[in-house]
Amino acid sequence: MNARSTGQHPARYPGAAAGEPTLDSWQEAPHNRWAFARLGELLPTAAVSRRDPATPAEPVVRLDALATRLPDLEQRLEETCTDAFLVLRGSEVLAEYYRAGFAPDDRHLLMSVSKSLCGTVVGALIDEGRIDPAQPVTEYVPELAGSVYDGPSVLQVLDMQISIDYNEDYVDPASEVQTHDRSAGWRTRRDGDPADTYEFLTTLRGDGGTGEFQYCSANTDVLAWIVERVTGLRYVEALSTYLWANVDADRDATITVDQTGFGFANGGVSCTARDLARVGRMMLDGGVAPGGRVVSQGWVESVLAGGSREAMTDEGFTSAFPEGSYTRQWWCTGNERGNVSGIGIHGQNLWLDPRTDSVIVKLSSWPDPDTRHWHGLQSGILLDVSRALDAV
Ligand SMILES: NCCCCCC(=O)NCCCCCC(=O)O
């Protein structure tokens, strides 16, 4: 593959030269001043737990508030490989569950729930007038000229309505989603792979079609690239500035980065269940968080109203939710309760139940990424808990 220029990217730290520090220069001045405090952005880093691994966290089971209506909830959480589960009604944590070995302040990978966070950052920048959703993507990232993103609007990327030669089969080694992973450092590189995520995005092609839903993880990374271009910040910093710094989080979130330091917006965020619930709380509070307004009420209303039912083609989703749609990086069930969710493979949900003003977080480690069987069990729990909240 011929490496092509993907243009200027935000400096890793103020004053850093483009592309610096690299794996070979981070130990040298002046880079060491930044790198010694940010090593996890350059080298895979293991945490030294403050909890003795020999005495893993005790399980936490606080499901009493739901026990009358859902006496088998704990069993269902166990059967669906739940690591953390939390129900936040208003500002009250009504129920919580953490499996043995996973503590309430442990972070968990969100997979594609990360997309809903990125969508929120884009929403904030649209509110500020810094992104116009009707503009073509290439207005912000001209380096995507010639790719499938040469033509579609930012809104079509947000709503995933672009026909892309991208196979999102997580277990197919020949799929584009696996090449994407390799470019981002999630899998071992192969000869000829793009050097990084930016370059991978420039390689994507399509038939020029728009208007039909196609779930494609690359779209979110394009959004993150746009975020970088309009803010001059790295995506990791923008996520902090526009979202995380405002939600009164207990802990820092983390995001995986590729070798250029580009955050894997489509699936790489990890955080605690309680902090993720705070993002849901902000949505149900009309875009307002303890640190101030994150997105406009109008943005939140657009998400809760759902997207185009006609555009939705995902039979897996519509078999469960016949009125389902996807908009602004959120899955919208179109059911009578108006449930909307961030959804990630292997059982991650940030589920909003506007009717009871509740947020349900479920973080899991299903053995399979994305089967109807597992989604069915998971949706069943989320719907049953939502209905139980009507009476609690
Ligand atoms: N390769 C990096 C991470 C990709 C994460 C992909 C992901 O989490 N996808 C979620 C798919 C949700 C499907 C929902 C449904 O069909 O019901």
CA-based nearest residue to 162, from 222, 102, 208, 124 = 208
Strands 108-109, 254-255: pairing is unpaired
Residue 64's pLDDT is 98
314 Cβ below 6 A of ligand 1 = yes
pLDDT tens readout for residues 226-248: 999 999 999 999 999 999 999 99
Ligand 1 atom nearest residue 168's Cα: 6
CA–CA separation, 146 vs 301, rounded Å?
35
Residue 53 pLDDT class (50, 70, 90 cuts): confident
Predicted local confidence at residue 155, as pLDDT: 98
Helix axes 297-305, 273-284, angle to 10 degrees: 100
Instruction: Give the mean model confidence (pLDDT) for residues 3-17.
Output: 91
Residue 330 has pLDDT above 60, yes or no: yes
Percent of the chain with pLDDT over 70: 99
Ligand 1 atom nearest to 314, measured from its CA: 16
Average pLDDT, rounded, for the chain: 97
How large is the ipTM? 0.96
**β-strands 92-98, 60-62 pairing:** antiparallel
Nearest ligand 1 atom to alpha carbon 344: 8
Residue with tokens 């696996």: 178
pTM over 0.90? The answer is yes
Based on the residue annotation, tell me whether 153 is a catalytic residue of this protein: no
Could you tell me the two tokens for 204?
Answer: 């994507």
Indicate if ligand 1 lies below 6 Å from the C-beta of 343. Answer: yes
Report whether pLDDT(100) > 80: yes
Domain 60-115+233-389 coded CATH 3.40.710.10: yes
Ligand 1 centroid–CA 345 distance in Å is 4
- Ordered DSSP codes for 88-139: EETTEEEEEEE-TT--TT--EE-TTHHHHHHHHHHHHHHHTTS--TTSBGGG
Residue 25 has pLDDT above 60, yes or no: yes
Q: Residues 94-105: what's their mean pLDDT? A: 97
**Ligand 1 lined by 181 (C-beta under 6 Å):** yes
Among 116, 362, 370, 379, say which to mutate for ligand 1: greatest number of ligand atoms within 8 Å of CB.
370
Domain boundaries, the chain: 60-115+233-389
Q: What is the pLDDT of residue 73?
A: 98
Residue 83 confidence (pLDDT):
98
Q: What pLDDT does 104 receive?
A: 97
The single-letter code of the amino acid at 108 is H
332 lines ligand 1 (CB under 6 A): no
- Of these residues, 5, 112, 147, 379, which one is catalytic? 112
pLDDT band for position 3 (cuts 50, 70, 90): low
Q: Which of 323, 200, 325, 346 is nearest to 267 (CA)?
A: 346
The pLDDT tens digits of the residues spanning 153-209 come to 999 999 999 999 999 999 999 999 999 999 999 999 999 999 999 999 999 999 999
- How many whole angstroms separate alpha carbon 118 and alpha carbon 226? 11
Residue 215 CA: nearest ligand 1 atom is 11
